[in-house]
Amino acid sequence: MIELRPTDAEEGLRLDAWLAGHFPSVPRTAVRRLLETGGVTTPDGHPCAKGERVRKGGCYLLKQAPSVAKVVPNPALPLRIVYEDGAVLALNKPAGMDCQPNAPDETDTLANAVLARFPEVGGVGDGPLTCGILHRIDRDTSGLVLAARTQAVYAALRAQFSAHAVDKRYVALVSGTVRAPGRLEHLLAHNPRYPGRMVDASVWHDAKRPMRAVTSYTPVRTLRVEGCPCTLLDVAIRTGVTHQIRAQLSFAGMPIVGDRRYGGFVPEGFPRHFLHARSAAFLHPESGASMLLEAPLTEDLEALLRRG
C-alpha cells in the first residue's frame, strides 16, 4: 500500500493529473486505469474517481504503483506494409484496429503488429506505447499510418507534422451531392457532455481547450447508394485534431456515410464509416527526398462503391 498526501499548493488539482505527477515515467492511461479499477481509495476505503479534485489535508491510498505499460509483440496479427526502408515504415491499417494500446493487456493493435515485425521500434517515440508510430487514425478508419524506425527519424518527422508540412489525403464518401471544392475551418473541442465526440467550440461555449482544424475537399464523383445521393470526396488535412474530418464534414451538412456518431447515413450491412487515409507527402528525414506514399482502398470500401 502506498500513501500519498497533497501539499497545500496542490489543492484543487484533478486527482488523475496529481497522481501522474508522482509517477512521471508512467503513461497517464495507467494512472487512470488504476483509478477506474478501484486502486486508489481514501483511508476509509472509499474509491476515488479520476475527475475529483485533490483536497487540502487529504490522504490517498494506492493499492500498488501504476505499472509502466509496455507493448507486447503479436506476430499473429496481419501487417500490411506499403513501404519500408531503414528509416521509415508506411502501413495500411485495417478498419477495426486501434493504432496503439491503451493498456498493457491489449495485444491487437497496429503497434503490437509493428513491434513483432520490427523489434527496434520498441523504444522509439514519445512514450512506451508509441512503437515509432507518428500519427493516429480512428479505429474504424482504414489506411496509411507512418512509423519511424529510429528516435532521430521520429523526431525529424514529428517536426514536419508539427509544422503542418505533411500533406495527408483521405477518401471520404459523404451523404448528399457536393458540386464544388471547399475549405472548412473550425475550432474543435471535446464534447463536455458526451465523451468521444467533438463539437464546434464557437457554438459550445462551455467546451474547453479548442483546437484549430482545417480541412479541404474536392468532389470526385457522385453516386447513389440504396437510393441515397452520395459524393466521393478527396480530402486534404494538415492539422491533426481528433475526428477532424468526420466532425467538420458533418458540421457542414455532409456527414460521412456509415458514421453513426456524426449522423451519417448507414447502408445495410456496412459496419463502419467510409473514411480511408489514402496518402501522405513529406520529406524523407534522412535523404531529404520528396516522398508520396499511398495505401490502396480496402475491399469493403470498394464493394460499397460498386453498389452505387
Q: Could you give the residue numbers annotated as active site?
A: 138
- Among left, alpha and beta (phi > 0; psi -120 to 50; other), residue 158 is alpha
Q: How far is CA 230 from CA 76, 218, 227, in A?
A: 37, 13, 9
The number of beta carbons lying within 10 Å of the beta carbon of residue 272 is 21
- Among left, alpha and beta (phi > 0; psi -120 to 50; other), residue 307 is alpha
Q: What are the cell numbers at 176? A: 448528399
Q: CB of 189 within 8 A of CB of 209?
A: yes
The number of beta carbons lying within 10 Å of the beta carbon of residue 137 is 23
Distance CA(189)–CA(14), nearest Å, equals 19
Q: CB of 122 within 8 A of CB of 101?
A: no
Of 192, 190, 196, 194, the residue nearest 206 (C-alpha): 192
Of 15, 67, 10, the residue nearest 41 (C-alpha): 15
